[in-house]
Structure formats: structure tokens, C-alpha cells
Structure 1
Amino acid sequence: MISVARLLLRRAALLVMLLATVFVTVDLLPGDTARAILGREAAPEQIAAKEYELGLDRALPMRFWSWISGVATGDFGRTARGRSVGELLVDKFPPTLLLGGIALVLTVLASLALGAWWAARQGSASTRLLQPATTTVVAVPEFVLATVLILVFALGLGWLPAVTITGRSGFPVSPDMLVLPVLALAAPQIGWNTRVVRAALADAAQAPHVETAVLDGLSTRVILMRHVLPFALPTIAASFATTVGMLLGGSVVVETIFNYPGLGAVLAGSVADRDTSVVAAVVTLSGAIIVGMLAVADGIRAWSLRGRR
């Protein structure tokens, strides 16, 4: 329990350091928050008044301490345009959660199936295609893949919509509007995790107890589920936990391209406004989710290794 608590504290400290880096990075970006809000024609007096209102006239360490102290009490502050950051997150996070959740489920199911198939049939003609295919999808950036998907399935074949239309609920009005964004997010992660699953299963299959199970005449399914997968599970779980962060990062690009109403679009707009509070709040939420998923992966690792020490 002590080691788990220490690990969580270490990750929380890393998250705070990351947030401090976000504050410094946004502050160093060219441009001015007050001018971005008021426009280029704003008078110097108006700019100065807006900076005072937003607290931008204070030193950066003081602004960061004030913000992080508020976060500790659940107050993420207000955007440069006056809206509560907490309300903005509540409004925009569910669509991103839906998009990322579907992409994660698709990634887990597809990569487990493909990775297990690849590991069980190494050297076959069909599995040889997975080597170049997974390498290709991992190497292609999300914005390139999204553009190709739009060109092929939206503009070329006309099967799926190229942009997202939002209803009153804040979600897409039609399920088919999720297909291309989900594919653009999930395809690179399926490629990467398929390779991880295959490698983890192949390594676990070399263990002596697996050879004994084969000699005992157990079926391939029983050997895979009872003797191979439990030993490969820690590596696979850690890879899936890392995938959550990659999906959240990729959503910035994908949501912008498909006009999807989520945190990605909010983050892109807040960077344009030099709105540090919004950028830091999105990073905080994303970081908390990633830390939580890593904790789950650690729990799975501890469970899979029970009785082996």
C-alpha cells in the first residue's frame, strides 16, 4: 500500500510539474491574451484594463500558484472570455469521452484479436501482411489519416459525412458522424497495440510451463487463455493505459478536422486566445485520466503476478 501511495504521489508531482510547464509555454507564445480577446483595434488603456481584470499583470509564479490553489478546491477559474472553466469542461468533455471511449474499446478488441491471431499463426502468409500494415498505420499522423478517410469515404464514395453536425444535446445528431473520427483516432493505436500484444504473447509463450501445457495435450485456446495471456497481461495493460493518453492527444487534431464538438476544439481555440487557464484545465483533466488508467494497469500487473513471488 505504501509503494502504491508513493507511486501515485510521484505521478501527481509529475502532473504538477507538467502544469507549470504549460503555464510557462503558453506565456512564451507570441501574441497577447488581452489583445486576442479585444481585437487588434483595442486601445492601450483597454488592453491594460483587460490584463488587470484577468490577472495578467501579476508575475507568472503568482498566477500559477493562484490557479493551482483553486484547482485543489475544485475551482478551475474562468476563461479569458469570462466563462467558468469548470462549466466548459462539463459541457465539452462528454462528447470527447464518447469519441475516445469508442476508439479505446475498438482498439482493445481489434488489437487483442489481431495480436493473438498473429502470435498463434506466426510465419503464415496471412499474418505476414500484418507486419507492413501495422507499421504503416503507426507511422501515418492522425491528420493525414483523417484527410485520407474524408477523401475516400466522404468525398469519393459518399458513404459517410465529412463533418460533424451537433444537436441540442451537444452530441452528433447521427451515429454515422462518429465513424470517421473514431477510425482516424483508433487506427494508429490498433497498429501499435497489435504489435505489443503479439510480442507480449510470443514472449510469454516461451515460458517453461507453456511447453509443459503443450506436452500435456491441452488445446491452443486453453493454453492461450490460462498459461500465456496472464503472463503477457501486465505488458498489454500498460500499453492500453498509454493508449488513453495518445487518444486524448490525437483528439485535438481529429476533432478540429471533423468539426467535432469536444475538448480538442476547445483546446485549439484556447491556444489561439493564449488562455492559460483553459489549456491547463484540459491538461489537468487529461493527466488525471491517464494517471487513473496507469493505476488500473498497475493493479492488473499486481493481480497477474500474485503468487509468483
Structure 2
Amino acid sequence: MNALRIRLLGRVLSRSRLALPTPARTPVPVACHTAPWVPTAQITSPRWLATSVPVEETVATEAAEPVVEPSPEELADTYKPMVPTGVDFPTLHATLAEQLKDLVPHCMPTHTQLHLLINVVTTTEEAAQAAEIMAQWHAADLPVTSLATSRFIYQCCKLGCPRFALKILSDRVTYGANPRLKHIHHLMSHYGHRSLVHSQACAANASDDQLRTLFEHAQDDMFRAFALPEFYQLAYDATSYSILIRYCVQAATDESYRRASVAAAEATQFDPPLITEEAAVLLRDACKARGEHDKASYLNQVIAKLPQENRSV
């Protein structure tokens, strides 16, 4: 299959629908911090990694996603929303759908109702219906809050249907989502965890093409999620790049290793480098194992100048 590839000469992602300016963070001149394995001439823009990911062309895998055990981060999420007694999804969904169909002044739904609807989602089908309500909610000029957005992302990941979270985040015009960077990181980590689970299954059964396809789709969607901060004027940080690098290195395939190298090449353009010590060490060790000592030496230099906040505790 033609899985998404991170292309250094990929076309620039169109922002015509969103008309959002590039985030304010400005990288240092490319020549100052260009990784030795990426020719400067191939870097077409300061954010060539994110802008080469065509989020709008194909948004997430529409096929049913297989059940995957929760990641350690998701297991650590102990948030339990307060839901009034007697509130259930079918009733609240029907009420909101009727209210949003024909809005009457002074009879608008309260802003907390969308948040409440998302909190009582318990199945994949309900997540899809909640996304439809979110579109109607936004079309009625009602605000989709950061809290509602974050809970929708977390609920979709928890239920094993992250494609709905990626869908609403990729179409701001329709859904009006309002994520913070950490919410996008959560979605990236979920896809990274899925890709790692599938890559381990592939290693145990290399002849299974379906497992390989699942792995490629999950990793592709992790990179699609990485491109999302551009839509929302969110400045990338070290965690943004390190999630990509960490999961790609751990997948231990040639293509994943290449993707990790490309992500590190962009991350190290910035001053200070946008990479954590953990991710840099993982990639450095992978370079050593492959006999690419020039890369390993370069990453040692990067690690030496990382600020304290990017270092492991």
C-alpha cells in the first residue's frame, strides 16, 4: 500500500480554509543547526516536516480500529467526570439534536450540555454521534470549549476510536475544536502506542500483511496528529518532536528509523533544540546499533546543549 511518507520535498499543506498565520516561534537559520544527514537544499520551509503531512487529503483510517490495550499514560488517567444522576447519552443526545435543529432565542442549550454529552459517551457509535452534535453546535455559533475538546479526545482514545478525534481536529471549520498542545500530544501518544503494539505483532508474524497495514496506518496517523498544531497557532515544543522520535525508534523498522531521523533533523534546527534527552538518547543508541557513528556523534553534541527542562529527571 502507499502509506503516508514524510517527504522533505512534500507539498506545503494548504491553509486556505483556515487562514491562520504560522506560529510565532521562529527557528534559527537552518545552516546553524542542520543535521548532517539532511542536505540544507532539501529543507523547503522552517516547518518542512509538519507542512509535508497532508492532513486534509486523507483524515485517519476509516476502517474499524482493533482493540489495543491502553497505554501507560491512559492507565494513569484517573479523571472521573461528575455526571448528574439519571443522565444518559441517548436522552441527552436526542434533546440536543432537537434543540439545535431549530434554535429559538432565550431557549439555547447551556454551554455545559456539550461537555456533559461527551462525558457520557460509552461506545464508538456514541462517539460518532457526539461528533455530529459538535458540528451542529459549532454551526449554531455556540463555543466548543477547550475542556469539551480535551474530553472528546480522551474519550475517543479510551474507547479505541481515535479516528473521530483526528477527524474533528483536522476540520476546524466544521467542528470548531479548541485543543491545547497537550491534548494533541495525548492523541499522538495514543497513535504511537498503537503503532508500537502493531509493530511488535508484526515482528512475531512477519508474513501477516494486515498487521503491517495496521502498523503503518497508526504511525501515519501519529504524524497527521503532529501536523495539527499548525491549524491552531500552537507552537511546537520538545515533547511534540520527542513523541514522534521515541515511538518511531521503538518500532525498529527501517522506515520508522528514517522517520525518527527526519523528525530529529527538524527538531535540532531550533535553539535550544526541541527534543528531550530521552528521545535523543534513544535515537543516538539506534544510530550506534546501525553503525552510523556520525549521526550518533551529532546527537551527542545536541544532548550536551539541551536546557535543563528537556533533560531526564
Relative to the length of structure 2, the TM-score reads 0.29
Q: Higher helix share goes to which structure?
A: 1
Give the TM-score taking structure 1 as reference length: 0.29
RCO higher in 1 or 2 (8 Å CA, sep ≥ 6)? Answer: 1
Higher-Rg structure is 1
